[in-house]
Every structure is written in structure tokens, then in C-alpha cells.
Chains A and B, each alone.
Chain A
Amino acid sequence: MTLVPIHLYLILGAILFTIGCIGVLVRRNVIVIFMSIELMLNAVNLVFVAFSRHLQSTEGQVTVFFVMTVAAAEAAVGLAIIIAAFRNRETVNADELNFLRW
């Protein structure tokens, strides 16, 4: 398949990252915030793979491998924290999870 110019992939990655960023800032449900973070990580993955293809180097794909692993670990621990917090406060609304406020 012929090559699409790289700046198209960069713009697509930027748009996905922006959507994820807005999701983190605007949504109140902690799980949806988490999903927006995953969206940001995936936008970065896309940019890495696009560069790997255009510069013909495997380094980008290795980095994506590690990003995926770290994202898996972070999702597991983060969701466990959310479950533990839900047990205490019965809510997943970020505005109401204010245990540490004075």
C-alpha cells in the first residue's frame, strides 16, 4: 500500500489526543476520565507507529509495546483504586470523591 504523508498521521494523533484531553477535563465520571487517558495513550501510540514506518526503524514499535504494557498495569491498579473508593463513598463522581479536602 502506498504511503500516506506523515503529517496526516500526526494531525490525526493530535486530534485524538485533544479529544482525550478535553474528556479528562470535562467529564465527571472517574471511569470515563480514565478512558480518556487511555485514548491519549493510544494517540501517542499511533504517532510512534507512524514514525516507525516512515523512518523504517523498529524502535517505534518497541516503544509502543512498552507503552501498552504500562497502560495495562496502570489500568489494573487504577480500576482497583476506583473500586476501593466506590466501596467507601458509593460514588464515582470526581466532584464527590473529595476525601482529602480540608
Chain B
Amino acid sequence: MLVGLGVLALLMILSLAGVVVVGGIDVASLNAGHVVFALLASLMILSALGVILNRSPIRSALSLVVTLFLLAVTFVSLNAYVVAMLQVIVYAGAIMVLFLFVIMLLNLQEDRPAMARAGVRGAAAVVGSLFLLAAAHFVAHPLGGTQAAAALPAGFGSIEQLAENLFTRSLLAFEVTSILLLVAIVGAVVLAKRKLE
């Protein structure tokens, strides 16, 4: 347990350092928000790496659940309370359960081999680094408005505001999405039937 605590402390310090360096934040003005973000970000990256690096699909799925839960916590820190709860209910509580179901039904053991051959791995590394270069661009030229006002309109991120937008401006998208869900249900039932009679 002491080893675990030590690892966690090291992770905290490293991630805080990363946030200070990458974010260009004055060390004197670090506060609880930055610390929480640093912790969440580092744990999220670690569990995302766990998704793609684990040999066993069940462990990948559980790493993804951890990532989704940490994302929900990040949403709460961004004042998006309803979206955070929906993330837990829909993503972590339903979609990932579906994934786990399928893995259990197909009784998938460890993947051998887990990854593609070296040529594909090299190409993936190139693609990944191209994208990260684009991200580094944001470090070099941070977007204006980083000192956005911390004061929010009252009721921001509450269900009333979300519902007001959904049922007035986005009503068409809402109805089309419900038809999409119906199509998905029918499609999944038809595809999973043993034989069509």
C-alpha cells in the first residue's frame, strides 16, 4: 500500500509539472482546479493506454469504463452536470455493459497476437505523431480567451437549460435521433437472431 501511495504521489507531481509546463501557468497561481485537472488527465491517459495495450479484451473494456468514469468527473468539473450523469448512465452503465456481455458470450480469452505486424505499427506511429504535432500547435499558439470569465449564467449545465435547447432549437435532431434508436433496436434484433424465419 505504501508503494501504491508513492506511485500516486509521483503521478500527481509529474502531472502537475506537465500541466504547468504545457499550460504555461504561473506556479504561484496553481489552485485546486489545476490540481484536480492534472490528476484526472493523467489517470485518463493511463487508462486509455490500458484500453489499447491490454491483451485480454475484458481488461480493455474495464479500462475503458474507468476512462469513461473519469471523463464524467471531468464533465462535473466543467459544470456540465447533466451531461456527466448521462455519460455514466448511457456510456459507462449501458454501452460498456453491452461490450462486456458480448465478450462474455463469445468467451474471448487473451488475444494472441495482440497487435498487428511491425509495418502497420510503424504506420500507426506516424499517424499518431502527425496528430500530436497538431496538438502541439495549440501549445505554441494558445487560443485567445484563456482568461474567460469564471462567472457563469445561473443554471448553466442544468437540465432546464439542456431541455430548453433540445425541445426548441434542436427538436428536429431530437426526433430524428429517436427514429435512429428505433432503427438500431430493430437492426440489432434482426442481426442477432439465429435464423430468419
Contacts and interface: CB of A to CB of B under 8 A. Distances in A.
The answer to A–B direct touch (Cβ < 8 A) is yes
Interface of A: 1-8, 10-12, 14-23, 25-29, 31-32, 34-36, 38-39, 42, 45-46, 49-50, 52-56, 58-59, 61-62, 64-66, 68-77, 79-84, 86, 92-93, 95
Contact of B135 (A10, A59, A92): A10
A57 to B, nearest CB: 9
Interface residues of B, number: 94
User: Main SS of chain A's interface residues?
Assistant: helix
Contacts of B123: 25
Contact of A83 (B106, B149, B162): B106
B150 to A, nearest CB: 5
Main secondary structure of the interface of B (DSSP, over half): helix
B146 A46 contact: no
A36 B99 CA distance: 12
Contacts of A70: 177, 180
Contact of B41 (A5, A12, A35, A56): A12
Contact of B22 (A3, A8, A58, A76): A8
7 contacts: A11-B139, A27-B52, A58-B165, A69-B180, A72-B95, A83-B191, A92-B106
